[in-house]
Amino acid sequence: MTLNGKTAVITGSNSGIGLGVAIELAKAGADIVLNSFTDRPEDHDIATDIATQYGVNARYIAADMSKGAECRALIEQAGACDILVNNAGIQYVAAIDEFPSDKWDAVIAINMSSAFHTTAAALPIMRAAGWGRVINIASAHGLTASPFKSAYVAAKHGVVGLTKVTALETAEENITANAICPGYVLTPLVEAQIPNTMEKYGMDRDTVIREVLLERQPSKAFATVEQLGGTCVFLASDSAAQMTGTTLSIDGGWTAL
């Protein structure tokens, strides 16, 4: 599969899942637009490294995904957007009656509303090009729920719904929209949580992973950023041209329970 000549915009992509997705798309030949809310030299260095290693054009554009105008400006500044990967997200955990209103607003804005704004800005570009792929990184929590994650679960369910609407509105065009629903993915952020969790529960690393972090993931194995990126490459391929409006679970059997 080659994505030569295509430009992929990936939100929240200077680390973790977003960066993993960007690298896999670059390996397939796509030009890359990275994004996060910071604007540091090291952010731009990541783009330079991708361009050098994979022989594609890559650049970094800072934009705050909590602000609709900046979401839309990201797409406008990218210029081209054949593949849009809505990945930006944050988490906050609290009981509903104790959930701070500002945290609710932030989670909804970054995890869900940003995908609406970027999609709204990208669809005219895709239509003009006669081709497009919208790929939303949702979550197993877009299909099921957990206590104390009201904003995150609501946002990810919303992303799945937005994906379906986008697919229906573009069904007769050469544009598809799909959502990937990962379970727990091994990212630097998750890796950093393991030592503290080991100390909290008095468990060794393997036990913490199996019994705490992956309690709801029947495979007892993390998904990887490479697997998510490979799925994005597949969804951008001609093989997936008639896949639209659906969810792909990469959750080790979580939602089969």
Local confidence pLDDT in tens for the 257 residues of the chain: 699 999 999 999 999 999 999 999 999 999 999 999 999 999 999 999 999 999 999 999 999 999 999 999 999 999 999 999 999 999 999 999 999 999 999 999 999 999 999 999 999 999 999 999 999 999 999 999 999 999 999 999 999 999 999 999 999 999 999 999 999 999 988 898 899 999 999 999 999 999 999 999 999 999 999 999 999 999 999 999 999 999 999 999 999 98
Domains of the chain: 7-185+224-256 (3.40.50.720), 186-222 (no CATH)
Judge whether 184 counts as a catalytic residue: no
CA distance 170 to 123: 9
Coil/strand/helix, residue 8:
strand
Q: Is the distance from CB of 183 to CB of 217 less than 8 angstroms?
A: yes
Q: Name, in order, each residue with C-beta under 8 angstroms of 157's C-beta and a sequence gap of 6 or more.
A: 141, 142, 143
SS (H, E, C) 111-160: HHHHHHHHHHHHHHHHHHHCCEEEEEECCHHHCCCCCCEHHHHHHHHHHH
Of the candidates 54, 152, 184, 201, the residue annotated as catalytic is: 152
Regarding pTM above 0.85, the answer is: yes
Q: Distance between CA 57 and CA 26 in Å, rounded? A: 9
